[in-house]
Structure 1
Amino acid sequence: MAMARTVRDRLLEALDDLTEGELQRFKAKLRDFPVPEGGYSHIPRGRLEKADPVALADLLFQFYTEAHAPRMAAGVLEAIGCKPQAERLLLGATGNDACSKAPLPFMSASAVGNRMQATVPREQHFIDQHREALIQRTATVEGILDMLYGTILDDEQYQAISAKTTSQEKMRELYKLVPSWNRDCKDRLYKAIKMKNKFLIDDLEGQP
């Protein structure tokens, strides 16, 4: 019995179907395409330029999650004139494998952007809202880095941050990565800071 294709399989199939020129146009348009509010941001240009279809699919899922990556990719495909690939991608790409049998209606690039803007909460994440306070007042940074290592931070990032001298310098270096993180990554940072600096988080949240 054949295994059902996952959302990631559909995305990779769509990207693999592009010519080299179309893939480059996809990357360029992706940099200008509207992203969901509420903790999402554009993929850094340097990481996009080096990405092959497999790495690009991984980046889309990392930055926009399974809930948004397929529709966002489909909107970009439609915008660069690759509507057949966009339609095949959205056919069943619900973001939930259990529901993947029901095809989705095709949406234009502008409609995809508007849908994401309308459905994602607009509130600013705690990590963004309290950026300066967390940089200045976080005392135990090493433990935070250890909790993030291997899931959010790779070895190069971990070493670069650890090499800084003071806690403030380490937090500032860590925050250089935050704009490229999705909400899940920020949630993990919040939990790590709360575990290692509970009283600071309680104070910022106005808790006794």
Structure 2
Amino acid sequence: MAPKTIKAALVDALEDLSTEDMKKFVHKLLDRREEPRVKRNRVDGKDRLDVVDVMVATFTEEPALKLALDILRDICCQNVAERLREATAGLTSKPADSGQNQESKGQHQESKGQHQESKGQHQESKDEHFVDKHRRALIERISNIDPILDQLLGSVIQHGAYDRIRAQLTTQDKVRELFKCLRAGPEVKDRFYTVLQEEEGYLIRDLQKQQ
């Protein structure tokens, strides 16, 4: 049976790789010079599912699929690339909080799937985005903005905005300046929310309890 999501197909494809080919895949992934880039400590020694999670979080599903196909062909795994292409023919990426994506996440990582599901329920029931609703608390309570900025560079903020934000004197001022870049739309807010889950998970969980 064909995978229901691009992410599930990516996991299946990487599971088809030998240990040596998987090392080559990760090496090519880290060797990219385009932004956004994947940090070594996020994929070194990780299993296939973790690598796919990082790719989808960094690039979103469809760009992650295109990159995976390019890398597979580059490391001479054309058969795996072709099976992946066929498995994802006609598929479109789903929002991180969609029902199908939650089903896939629940099969692999129950706790993470439940966390994303709570995000989806919040966004479906509220017109106001989570990061807008908790703007004041995020400005006051984000403790380490630098790794957040590093992950957003290239996808949400460009180098000029990155330098401008980093030039602010306090963490609170940096977060305020960052919020100016989130006016572009819900997609950038979703990306910011995903990074916050990774870097400030305790804060996000605390704010969710207050809802």
TM-score, normalised relative to structure 2:
0.49
The TM-score, its normalising length taken from structure 1, stands at: 0.50
Larger Rg: 1
